[in-house]
Amino acid sequence: MTCFVVMGFGEKTDYYSNPQRVLNLNRTYEDIIEPAVTASGLECIRADKIIHSTVIDKPMYENLLSADLVIADLSTSNVNAIYELGVRHALRPHTTIVIAEQQFAFPFDLNHLSITKYEHLGKEIGFREVMRMRDVLTQKISAIVGRRETDSPVFLFLPELLSDHRGEAPPAPAATAAPRDEKSLADLLETFKEAKKAVTKPSDWLFVVAVLKRLQNLQPNDSYLIQQLALATYKSRLPDMLQSLKDAQATLEVLKPHTSSDAETVGIWGAIHKRLWEVGRQRHDLDTAIRSYARGYFIKDDYYNGINFAFLLNVRAAVSEGDEATTDRVLARRIRREVLTLCDTALAGTLAPADQFWANATKVEALLGLGRQAEAETLRDTISKGTDQWMVDSMLEQLGALSALNP
């Protein structure tokens, strides 16, 4: 017997929570769903684990129809998961379980569904909540598998459909000779992450791009993959810097970065136009970069977008005059003071060593931009010890660019 799991994977932003949160949905799958399903004696299948040659749609529909049980996690109001749940409800009258994080909200009436809620902390889920939810899910699986009690609202409100529906899984689809990618979506994602970590020079990004394109064959409309492809494309600097930026720009356009409320999308859009400004000195690229980082900063309230926003305000002040230049310089100082607070808050928590370095490096830049040079130099020297040289060089390059502006 099989259980098909409908949900997002990896880290996803919950735009409907206030404030917005990022949930690592892999924690839900690996810590709660998969153990509960396996303990119930079913094979657990999630879409990203399917090995297939083209887009994931065909095996997804096959599993929605044939799976003995479907568990749909709607956390972060994931529109793909909600759509797939609707498909399941239209195909099968029974054996579907719906769960969601406790802050789940969606502008569609799902009140008629029985949704089991659980608490997600963001990167992790508390041990007690994991064990509680596993037990709840195991009991639900035991209760509905084999009983074939109607839980689909389609069949509940249109009971005449039941007379033509045996509720039996269709025969397995005939095997085809179509070639397939020998890695699943999950395997390719892991390859991508490892390749990204291993990058030491621009040309290494070519392999990252190649892996991302294979991933896109399986998930062509996934916004995360599009964002990462744009990032890897411009970082490769091939065939040259300008062309790589234009290619990245074209890649990201499909996510509508001019109006997007996704901080990652607008942040990458800002990075592309920041570099286009550096290459071509076109004022519209500078203005676009500033607007993008500003939107990313006000959406996410993060130090990455904030420090880039402040830096580019000083860049624009350097090529402007009068009140325009003064306004940008004053706003840049205000943003840097806010960024210092954000850095301190982040550093007070638990950060990976690399993230800790970049938070401190951002703090160094903010201090320097505020004229607190002695503090900046002390912190710079402290965090440079024992750190990868390319990271230190990247920090020093940015500090040099800031110093040249005399903010």
Distance CA 327, CA 362 (A): 22
With 0-12 / 13-18 / 19 or more C-beta atoms within 10 angstroms meaning exposed / middle / buried, residue 385 is exposed
Read off the pLDDT of residues 29-52 as tens digits, 9 standing for 90 and up.
999 999 999 999 999 998 777 755
What pLDDT is stored for residue 222 in this prediction?
A: 87
User: Does residue 335 have a pLDDT over 50?
Assistant: yes
Q: Which conformational region is residue 294 in: left (phi greater than 0), alpha (psi within -120 to 50 degrees), or beta?
A: alpha
Between β-strands 11-14 and 21-24, what pairing exists: parallel, antiparallel or unpaired? antiparallel
Question: Quick one: three-class SS letters along the chain?
Answer: CEEEEECCCCEEEECCCCCCEEEEHHHHHHHHHHHHHHHCCCEEEEHHHCCCCCCCHHHHHHHHHHCCEEEEECHHHCHHHHHHHHHHHHHCCECEEEEEECCCCCCCCCCCCCEEEECCCCCCCCHHHHHHHHHHHHHHHHHHCCCCCECCHHHHHCHHHHHHCCCCCCCCCCCCCCCCCCCCHHHHHHHHHHHHHCCCCHHHHHHHHHHHHHHHHHCCCCHHHHHHHHHHHHHHCCCCHHHHHHHHHHHHHHHCCCCCCCHHHHHHHHHHHHHHHHHHCCHHHHHHHHHHHHHHHHHHCCHHHHHHHHHHHHHHHHCCCHHHHHHHHHHHHHHHHHHHHHHHHHHCCCCCHHHHHHHHHHHHHHHHHCCCHHHHHHHHHHHHCCCCHHHHHHHHHHHHHHHHHCC
Read off the pLDDT of residues 102-157 as tens digits, 9 standing for 90 and up.
888 765 556 567 889 999 988 889 999 999 999 999 999 998 887 778 888 888 77
CB contact at 8 A, 313 and 339: no
- Band of residue 291 on the pLDDT scale cut at 50, 70, 90: very high
User: Does residue 296 have a pLDDT over 50?
Assistant: yes
pTM, two decimal places: 0.64
Distance CA 52, CA 316 (A): 49
What pLDDT is stored for residue 174 in this prediction?
A: 47
Query: Which of 230-268 are b and which e, b meaning 16 or more Cβ less than 10 Å from the residue's Cβ?
Result: bbbbbbbbbeebeebbebbbebbeebebeebebbbbbbb
User: Does residue 394 have a pLDDT over 60?
Assistant: yes
Average pLDDT, the chain: 88
What pLDDT is stored for residue 176 in this prediction?
A: 46
Nearest to 208 by CA among 193, 227, 186: 193
- Band of residue 163 on the pLDDT scale cut at 50, 70, 90: low
Distance CA 267, CA 264 (A): 5
The type of residue at 191 is T
Read off the pLDDT of residues 74-84 as tens digits, 9 standing for 90 and up.
998 888 888 99
What pLDDT is stored for residue 41 in this prediction?
A: 93
Read off the pLDDT of residues 244-276 as tens digits, 9 standing for 90 and up.
999 999 999 999 999 998 888 999 999 999 999
What tokens does 65 get? Answer: 């129809």
Read off the pLDDT of residues 171-199 as tens digits, 9 standing for 90 and up.
445 444 444 455 677 888 888 988 888 88
